[in-house]
Structures are given as structure tokens and as C-alpha cells.
């Protein structure tokens, strides 16, 4: 180390073998400073940093080995020369001025110089000069530490050029580069955001994420982020994965754009995701194209399964949906009903008025069906003038309510195929309910057979089947009487009557009253040897119009007469129903049928009121004497017309016996009437 120090202190030797120090001795202060340099400084001399000492006029008194090597000079070639000779001439005056500007209170300066090497190459150096003063604060020289920063400057220049190029690309590229926090707050965004979304980067930084995304997309974004953070770190999950997600963004002009985001996580030293970075591009046109294509495909699909005349589904779609619904019904043991509809006497209408008018009839029926069905029902044109409606989660009885509404609405429409011609058309409807294990062919065939049965029964009606004692019992026409016009009249089948009742009465209390009246009238017919079905159906349907007239008793019975007469039902039954309300009919009750219906339907009200004051509210707890006693208490069930009940004596049945018979009948249907 001593040998190296001597070499540094006397760097170089003269030709006569004497050291440079023998011909040039630096000031005492300089020697003293140099003597204090420790081994670490020596190491620095041998490294990239340069160390120089010079007098106040710039004469060099010391140069490190690294400096000598950089200029391909020996210490002897440098010591004694002026430091300013190494600086290009046009910069020398500035360098001198900087050195003179130092003061004891501000003894250090750092600056950059262009330096001329031995080969004439210009290099860039950064130097820190420290002024040295003696005790009298007189400048004695400078201690300088420098390094070659040429490569650093070249790198900076290249970086500036690259930054300018990158800035140009980012400002003009079609994509947006960005970084965000895990709260989706933007921390950096490229200038290209202005061209795509209309915001400057500065405006974006100030925005909340709620101002950037639509509510739906904001929810999707946070859910996806939560999912990615939740699975991060799991075995098999790629930490370098990227995620693609399309979201709706607000443009500054108020419009909404679809933006595709390809993003990945930014991780800390622990490998945890702490932020996001990504690239976004406008895919609005692509999405619009996709939507247009999808809508076009949907339209084509709709056309392929839609009947062009009615707008309902076609037969092809019916069979597809039938298979699907039957599978679901069998698997989950649900109800499924099928309605088969046919326009009555359509061929005759077509032949008389032409196919164009026939198409209008078909089109109108399509409208009626569409107005009556629910969203879950599937209505199709089966072929020609036939239609089908598939009704999931629906029993045959429930389907009848809808069928009756269709039938009445279609019949009410007036067609005008020719000037001064007004025609009302009717439909016949058959209904079947899918049975466990039944095949589709049988399901359709049964509905079709019931539809033709409705036609045989006089058309303009609904026909269905119910399960009775394990067998399917189709509706059938009773052996009827002759109408005044000479046609066959009908006693409605009970299920047909129930379907008609349910189509017009919805109040549970009125339905219970109708079922109780039916039971009492059947018992009275049996007691008097009359037609049980005829009398029972009169009891069931006597209040058919009660909701339609809205409490207007002056019309009660008249509306029911019209509804029943349109169906060609038995005129004796219709007459009894009309006369049970004298207020409307203004007709006296004359026959046993008239008196029985008036007394029978009224006694059910008194018995029901008596049952409801029993502890268990059951009709089985009611005694005959209790009802007879209540007959005399006019304040009890005051709306019950006692005079109607007493008409039982006009048909030869004393009051106690009449009450006993009625009680027994109502006990037989107590579950149906809820007592």
C-alpha cells in the first residue's frame, strides 16, 4: 500500500529517473489533504470515478489512475497542465467563471463538461469541485471528483427518443392503456382515451368508477374482480393469467360504448395483486354487428316456427314443445292440459264467402286465443281452421275456464263478409289432461275426440274428460228433450256445468252455495221421483250470472237464461232458474221444479249460517230443530228469505222433513262446501 501511495503522490518519473515530485511539488495544503486519503479513496481511484487536484489557476497537481487511463496519458503527461486544456475552447470561459464563483460559504459546485480525449473524441463528464482554503480563507486549489457520463447521456437521449415515440404511439393508437387500483380508480391512462371516450387523462383521474361504467357493468366488474382475487394463489391458477371482459362505458357525450378489457394483476414483492393493468378497445361496432346477426337469426327462427296468418306458432313448434312439456310433466309429476279448437261450419263459410273472408275468420280466432292465454301457454295453428293450446301446470277443469272465455269472445265478434251481411262464428273445443305414462299421440287423440264430441253435442261448446273410478269418462249429452224449434235440447253434463260455472263465478262462497244447492236439488228430485240430473244442474247453475250482474237483482236470472239458452240447454231447467228470482222475471213460480229450486237454494243459506255458529263450524253438528228454531228468528241470517223456504210445503214436504233432507244432502258434500 505504501508503494502504491508513493506512486500516486509522485505519479510518473522523469527521463533521468527522478520522480515528478522532484520537479513539481504541490502546496502544503494539497499534500496534507492527499496524505489523509484512506484506502477507500485509493480503491475509488482505481474504479470509474476520476479524482483531480488543481491549483486556483487550474494547474493540475494530481490525477487518479482511472483519469490517466481514460485519456491514455501517463501522470507525467497530465501533472502541470491546465485543466482547462481538457475542456473544448467554447466552454472554457464558462468553466473558469464557475470555478471563480465558489466562496468559502459555498465551496462546492457540480457541473457537466464536454471533455476532449487524446484521440480528439468529445466525452461528457460530470464533475464536483470543492474549493480548498487555508487558515486565512485564501483559495489554495480545488479537489475534483468526476465520472464519464457519456453513455448515461446517450441512454437518456435514447430514452427521450423512445418516450417521444411511445407517447406518439399511445396518443394515436386505437387502444387505451391503463392502470387501476383494486377499487377500479384509474391511476394511469393513455391519452388515446380522449379519442375513444372523449375524456382527457386528467378528467379520468378525477372520476369515480360509478361515473365510468353503467350500473350493470359496474356490478359485473366488481364481481369478476372479487372472483379473480378469490381464486388467486390456488393450485393450478396461473399467476400471469390475463382476463378479458366486455363492459359498457359512458362516453363524455352521454352515449354508451362497449369496451373490451384485457387485464392482468400488478403484484407486490409478496406476489399479491395490488393493482391492475390492461388494454381496452372499443368493440361497440362489433357488438352491434353481433346483436344484428343474432336478431336476424332469431327472426329467421321465429319465421320458421310461426304461422304467417295468425302470428301464432305453427305445427312444427307445437310438436317440439309438446315433447318437452310432456317429459317435464312425467318427470316432475305436474299437470299438463291440451286444448283442441276447431271453427264450426268453416267449410260452408269459406265456400259461401271465399278464402279471403275465411282467412279473416282464422286471423280473428288467432287474436282471440292470444288475448285469452297466459304467458306460459303455447298456442299454435295446428292446420286449416284447427288450433291447439298447450297449458303447463294446468288441470282440465282450469283449462275449461280459459276455453269458455275464448268461446264467448270469439262468438261475440261480428264478421261482415258482404255488405249488409253480419255473421257470428262459433268454435268447438276439446280438452284432455295428460295422464301418467301417457304418450303424446294418445294425449292429442283424446283432445281431438272431445272436440268432435263437442260438435256432435251441438257445437259452440267445450268438452273434456275427468277421471272417475280409475277410468277416463268423456262428457256426453244426456237424452234430452225437444226444443221449441224442434232441435234436441240438452241437460248439461256435470263437469260441463262446473266448467261453465267456473268461467263465470269466482267467489268461493258463491261456489260453495252452488255445490250445496246442487246436492239439495238432487235429494229433492230423488224424494219426488223427478229427473235428478235435470234438477241438480238447475241447483248448480241457478246463480251463474250473479257476478256478471254485479248485485243488480233486477237482472239476476235473465243473464243466466241467455247464457244457458245459447247452449241449447233444457228449457224447463232454464225456466226454473229464471223464476227463482221473481224480482227479475216478474213471473210466478208454478211447478214443483220452480218451488223446489226456490226453497232448496234458500235453505242452504240458513243451514250454512247455523253451521257457522257451531263450535266446530261443521254442518254435521247442526240439528234439525236448531234450523227450525232459527227459521223463527228473523234477526238471524236476516237476508235469508223464509218465505222461499216455506215453499217446500207446496211440493208436499213438511218443513222439518225438508230441513232433515237438506242437512243430509249438505253433509254429503261437506268437504266441497267447506263445512
Q: Which three three-digit cell numbers place residue 330?
A: 312425467
pLDDT for residue 452 is more than 90? no
Return mean pLDDT, the chain.
82
Give the tens place of pLDDT for each residue, 203-233.
999 999 999 999 999 999 999 999 989 888 7
Mean predicted confidence (pLDDT) in 418-426 = 90
- Residue 180 CA, chain-centre distance (Å), reads 28
Largest Cα–Cα separation, the chain: 169
Hey, what CATH class is 2-155 in? alpha beta
pLDDT for residue 286 is more than 70? yes
pLDDT for residue 34 is more than 60? no
Counting beta carbons within 10 angstroms of the beta carbon of residue 668, is it exposed (0 to 12), middle (13 to 18) or buried (19 or more)?
Answer: middle
591 or 13: which carries more pLDDT confidence? 591
Return the pLDDT at 470.
34
Mean predicted confidence (pLDDT) in 381-391 = 93
Strands, sheet with 471-474, edge to edge from the N-terminal-most edge strand = 378-383, 386-392, 336-343, 427-433, 462-468, 471-474
Return the pLDDT at 169.
63
> Quick check: pTM over 0.75?
no
**CATH superfamily label, 312-476:** Reverse transcriptase/Diguanylate cyclase domain (3.30.70.270)
Return the pLDDT at 570.
80
Could you give the CA distance from residue 149 to residue 13 in angstroms, rounded to a whole number? Answer: 31
Mean predicted confidence (pLDDT) in 316-331 = 91
- Cα torsion 158, 163, 165, 170 to 10°: value is 160
pLDDT for residue 39 is more than 70? no
Mean predicted confidence (pLDDT) in 540-569 = 81
Among 408, 383, 403, residue whose Cα is nearest residue 391:
403
Q: Fold for domain 508-673?
A: Hypothetical protein af1432 (1.10.3210)
Q: Is CATH 3.30.70.2860 what the domain over 173-288 is classified as, yes or no? A: no
Task: Spell out a b/e string for 503-519, using b for 16 or more CB atoms within 10 Å of the CB, else e.
Answer: bbbeeeebbbbbbbbbb
Tell me the CA distances in angstroms from 547 to 288, 322, 508, one per residue in order: 53, 36, 12
Return the pLDDT at 37.
42
Mean predicted confidence (pLDDT) in 624-645 = 86
Look at 194-198, 259-263, 512-516, 547-551 and tell me which has the smallest mean pLDDT.
547-551
Give the tens place of pLDDT for each residue, 109-125.
888 878 777 777 888 88
Return the pLDDT at 170.
62
pLDDT for residue 349 is more than 90? yes
- Residue 103 pairs with which residues in a beta bridge? 106
Mean predicted confidence (pLDDT) in 395-424 = 90
Residue spans per domain, the chain: 2-155, 173-288, 312-476, 508-673
Matching CATH topology for 312-476 and 508-673?
no
Could you give the CA distance from residue 173 to residue 192 in angstroms, rounded to a whole number? Answer: 7
Helix spans in 279-430 (H): 284-305, 315-332, 346-353, 355-372, 396-412
Return the pLDDT at 165.
65
Return the pLDDT at 172.
58
Counting beta carbons within 10 angstroms of the beta carbon of residue 146, is it exposed (0 to 12), middle (13 to 18) or buried (19 or more)?
Answer: buried
Look at 197-211, 354-368, 454-468 and tell me which has the smallest mean pLDDT.
454-468
Look at 78-82, 397-401, 580-584 and tell me which has the smallest mean pLDDT.
580-584
Give the tens place of pLDDT for each residue, 44-101.
444 568 899 999 999 999 988 888 888 888 888 889 999 888 887 888 888 888 888 8
Amino acid at each position: 500500500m505504501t508503494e502504491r501511495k508513493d506512486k500516486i503522490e509522485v505519479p510518473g518519473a522523469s527521463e533521468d529517473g527522478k520522480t515528478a515530485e522532484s520537479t513539481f511539488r504541490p502546496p502544503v495544503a494539497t499534500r496534507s489533504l492527499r496524505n489523509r486519503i484512506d484506502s477507500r479513496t485509493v480503491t475509488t481511484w482505481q474504479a470509474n470515478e476520476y479524482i483531480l487536484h488543481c491549483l486556483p489557476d487550474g494547474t493540475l497537481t494530481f490525477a487518479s489512475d482511472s483519469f490517466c487511463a481514460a485519456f491514455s496519458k501517463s501522470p507525467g503527461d497530465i501533472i502541470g497542465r491546465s485543466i482547462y486544456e481538457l475542456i473544448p475552447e467554447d466552454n472554457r470561459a464558462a468553466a473558469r467563471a464557475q470555478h471563480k464563483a465558489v466562496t468559502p460559504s459555498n465551496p462546492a459546485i457540480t457541473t457537466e463538461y464536454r471533455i476532449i480525449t487524446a484521440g480528439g473524441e468529445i466525452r461528457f463528464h460530470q464533475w464536483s469541485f470543492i474549493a480548498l482554503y487555508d487558515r486565512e480563507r485564501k483559495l489554495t486549489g480545488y479537489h475534483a471528483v468526476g465520472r464519464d457520463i457519456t453513455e448515461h447521456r446517450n441512454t437518456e437521449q435514447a430514452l427521450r427518443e423512445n418516450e417521444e415515440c411511445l407517447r406518439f404511439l399511445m396518443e394515436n393508437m386505437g387502444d387505451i392503456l391503463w392502470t387501476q387500483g383494486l377499487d377500479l380508480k384509474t391511476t394511469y391512462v393513455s391519452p388515446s382515451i380522449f379519442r375513444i371516450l372523449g375524456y382527457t387523462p386528467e378528467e379520468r383521474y378525477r372520476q369515480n368508477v360509478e361515473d365510468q361504467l353503467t350500473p350493470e357493468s359496474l356490478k359485473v366488474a366488481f364481481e369478476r374482480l372479487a372472483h379473480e382475487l378469490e381464486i388467486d394463489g390456488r393450485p393450478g391458477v396461473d399467476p400471469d393469467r390475463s382476463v378479458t371482459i366486455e363492459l359498457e362505458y359512458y362516453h363524455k357525450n352521454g352515449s354508451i360504448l362497449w369496451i373490451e378489457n384485457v387485464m392482468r394483476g400488478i403484484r407486490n414483492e409478496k406476489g399479491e395483486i395490488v393493482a391492475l393493468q390492461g388494454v381496452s378497445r372499443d368493440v361497440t361496432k362489433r357488438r352491434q354487428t353481433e346483436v344484428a346477426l343474432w336478431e336476424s337469426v332469431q327472426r329467421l327462427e321465429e319465421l320458421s316456427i310461426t304461422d304467417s296468418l295468425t302470428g301464432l306458432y305453427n305445427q312444427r313448434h307445437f310438436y317440439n314443445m309438446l315433447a318437452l312439456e310432456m317429459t317435464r310433466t312425467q318427470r316432475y309429476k305436474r299437470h299438463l292440459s291440451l286444448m283442441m279448437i276447431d271453427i264450426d261450419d268453416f267449410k260452408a263459410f269459406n265456400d259461401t264467402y271465399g278464402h279471403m273472408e275465411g282467412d279473416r275468420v282464422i286471423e280473428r280466432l288467432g287474436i282471440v286465443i292470444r288475448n285469452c292465454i297466459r304467458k306460459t301457454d303455447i298456442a299454435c295453428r295446428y292446420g286449416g281452421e284447427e288450433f291447439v293450446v298447450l297449458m303447463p301446470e294446468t288441470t282440465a277443469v282450469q283449462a275449461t275456464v280459459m276455453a269458455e272465455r275464448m268461446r264467448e269472445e270469439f262468438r261475440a265478434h261480428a264478421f261482415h263478409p258482404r255488405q249488409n251481411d253480419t255473421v257470428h262464428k262459433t268454435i268447438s273445443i276439446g280438452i284432455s289432461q295428460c295422464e301418467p305414462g301417457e304418450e303424446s299421440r294418445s294425449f292429442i287423440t283424446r283432445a281431438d275426440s272431445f272436440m268432435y264430441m263437442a260438435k256432435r253435442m251441438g257445437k259452440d261448446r267445450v268438452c273434456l274428460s275427468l277421471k272417475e273410478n280409475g277410468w277416463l269418462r268423456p262428457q256426453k249429452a244426456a237424452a234430452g228433450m225437444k226444443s221449441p224449434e224442434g232441435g234436441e235440447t240438452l241437460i248439461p253434463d256435470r263437469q260441463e256445468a262446473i266448467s261453465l260455472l267456473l268461467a263465470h263465478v269466482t267467489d268461493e262462497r258463491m261456489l260453495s252455495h252452488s255445490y250445496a244447492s246442487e246436492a239439495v236439488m238432487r235429494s229433492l228430485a230423488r224424494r219426488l221421483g223427478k229427473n235428478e240430473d235435470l234438477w241438480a244442474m238447475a241447483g248448480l247453475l241457478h246463480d251463474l250470472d250473479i257476478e256478471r250482474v254485479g248485485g243488480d237483482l233486477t237482472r239476476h236470472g235473465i243473464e243466466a237464461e241467455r247464457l244457458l239458452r245459447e247452449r241449447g240447454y233444457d228449457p224447463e231447467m232454464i225456466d226454473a232458474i229464471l223464476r227463482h228470482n221473481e224480482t227479475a222475471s216478474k213471473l210466478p213460480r208454478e211447478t214443483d221444479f220452480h218451488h223446489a229450486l226456490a226453497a232448496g237454494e234458500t235453505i242452504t243459506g240458513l243451514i250454512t249460517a247455523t253451521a257457522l255458529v257451531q263450535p266446530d263450524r261443521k254442518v254435521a253438528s247442526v240439528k234439525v230443530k236448531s234450523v227450525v228454531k232459527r227459521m223463527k228468528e228473523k234477526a238471524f241470517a236476516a237476508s235469508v228469505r223464509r218465505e222461499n223456504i216455506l215453499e217446500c210445503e207446496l211440493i208436499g214436504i213438511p218443513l222439518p222433513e225438508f230441513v232433515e233432507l237438506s242437512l243430509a244432502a249438505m253433509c254429503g258434500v261437506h268437504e266441497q262446501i267447506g263445512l
